[in-house]
Amino acid sequence: MSDLYRSAIHARASKLPPVPPTVYPGHTYGDEVEDEEAEMEDSVGSLPSEMGPPKSFNLGKRQKKTPNPSFAPISAAAYFEQATQVSVVASGLDFRAYYTPPKFSDGTVLVCHHGAGYSGLSFACLAKEFTRLSKGECGVLSLDCRGHGKTTRIGPTETSEEDLSIDTLTSDLVNLLSTIFSDFATAPTFLLVGHSLGGSVCVRACPLLQDRKYKVTGVVVLDVVEEFTLEALPMMHSLLDARPEGFDSAEDAVEWHVKTNVIRNVDSARVSIPAIVVPNPKPNTRAPDFLWRTPLRSTAPYWTSWFTGLSSKFLSARTARLLVLAGTERLDKELMIGQMQGKFQLEVLAGVGHMIHEDDPARLAELLVEFWRRNERVLVGIKKVGDL
């Protein structure tokens, strides 16, 4: 939601003192994966802030767009080695997880949690770059969280409403990792990375995983600052009103995200965006053929809880901490004090929007590998990774 609060408090932020200098503290795809066309059917985009209202659909009469092959979906097979469904009874969910294991028994796994409305494929390009730069010493696990992507509920349910409270999402992540890597003694070391809402989830999951004896070498938050996000939340409904109702095709969805600068990397958008739209279950000549998979407006009751307390919990995490912001984003007071005290590493990337990990996955991968190498030496006794 950084684009949201970036526009909402632009005038206020410009009056704040500058950011202090950065201080650095001491499945293979196969039988269990749907084919590429199924992947295409399946990823909600960042909310636009630097554009006018996008095209709206005229319900009276509308000529549908011909799909542009330049924005055709790309399979995730080239970005992850495995994709599978993981049944997690404790959460009552069948999680979709994308995974590239580390090639060494003492490897680390980058655990990626996406923001509201997105999917695990949001990290596809970053996963490929991170694996390459770490020379395979690190693996990557990216999940579709509750109510997103191809993660589904187990068995019948009494309500169609998803519980997207921050405590539930945090428990989901901890339960998933505890299911995949059931023995903490043989589990890999985790490097937790979360974008926006995902950053809040990872920060809260860190101490819970450590309480279960799992090793966490660091936690990384991508482009979210508590104070500014909370102040901008009242604008969310008007920004949601400015989004298209849907799209004529998966290509149309990708094209809209690219041409409105929601995502500035065409290849990443072609991988991630098809998973956040679904075919319209009631198609007609006046309605779009594809709709948003996750109705963000229905998550409104949870918005405040997602980000309240994020700064203090981030600063108190018992592991290395990295905050990566887009452009000239400012810190709130609590983070500014913590940064001057050297409690976390701060990086500000130029030329990117809210979707840092999609806009410039190569640069972010470099930062993450440097951060991992700087901090992984404090953990010893890493054992072999369990099978997914």
Query: Which among 2, 142, 196, 200 is annotated as catalytic?
Result: 196
Query: Which among 3, 42, 144, 223 is annotated as catalytic?
Result: 223
Q: In one letter, which amino acid is 196?
A: S
Residue environment code for 119-137, b if the CB has 16+ CB neighbours within 10 A, otherwise e: bbbbbbbbbbbbbebbeeb
* 248 labelled catalytic: no
* 43 labelled catalytic: no
Query: Which among 354, 357, 359, 360 is annotated as catalytic?
Result: 354
* 357 labelled catalytic: no
Catalytic residues: 196, 223, 354
